[in-house]
């Protein structure tokens, strides 16, 4: 059975805010590239959830992408991509944004 990647309401809100910011008038091609990279990184978690470093908050991992940080949990986190469980994306923090509000 394939691994499931879920986003919390907070993570969905973060992505909406990032999208709104990145698609402002005059944002350009780099903004579109960043949005695509963030989406691709979240999709990659389905295959390789244990590839990325453990986070500052116990039980989490953090995936850096385009200046943002995707903070997520793996249940169970076996440390092995083959045996690890489903993924829950908790938050997507922007550059300079404090991750202590997790």
Give tens-digit pLDDT for 34-65: 888 999 999 999 999 999 999 989 999 999 99
Between CA 48 and CA 38 the distance in angstroms is 15
pLDDT at residue number 1: 56
Query: Mean pLDDT, to the nearest integer, of 1-28?
Result: 86
Instruction: With H, G, I as helix, E, B as strand and everything else as coil, classify residue 100.
Output: helix
Between CA 47 and CA 2 the distance in angstroms is 9
pTM beyond cutoff 0.85: yes
Q: Rounded to a whole number, what is the largest CA-CA distance in the chain?
A: 44
Between CA 36 and CA 64 the distance in angstroms is 14
Every domain of the chain and the residues it spans: 5-97
- Angle in degrees, 0-180, between the axes of helices 9-22 and 29-44, rounded to the nearest 10: 160
CATH of domain 5-97: 3.30.2310.20
């Amino acid at each position: 059975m394939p691994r499931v990647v879920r986003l919390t309401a907070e993570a969905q809100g973060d992505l909406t805010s990032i999208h709104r910011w990145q698609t402002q008038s005059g944002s350009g091609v780099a903004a579109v590239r960043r949005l695509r990279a963030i989406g691709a990184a979240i999709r990659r978690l389905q295959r390789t959830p244990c590839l990325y470093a453990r986070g500052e908050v116990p039980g989490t991992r953090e995936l850096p992408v385009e200046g943002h940080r995707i903070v997520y949990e793996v249940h169970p986190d076996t440390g092995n991509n083959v045996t690890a469980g489903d993924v829950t994306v908790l938050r997507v923090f922007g550059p300079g944004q404090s991750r202590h509000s997790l």
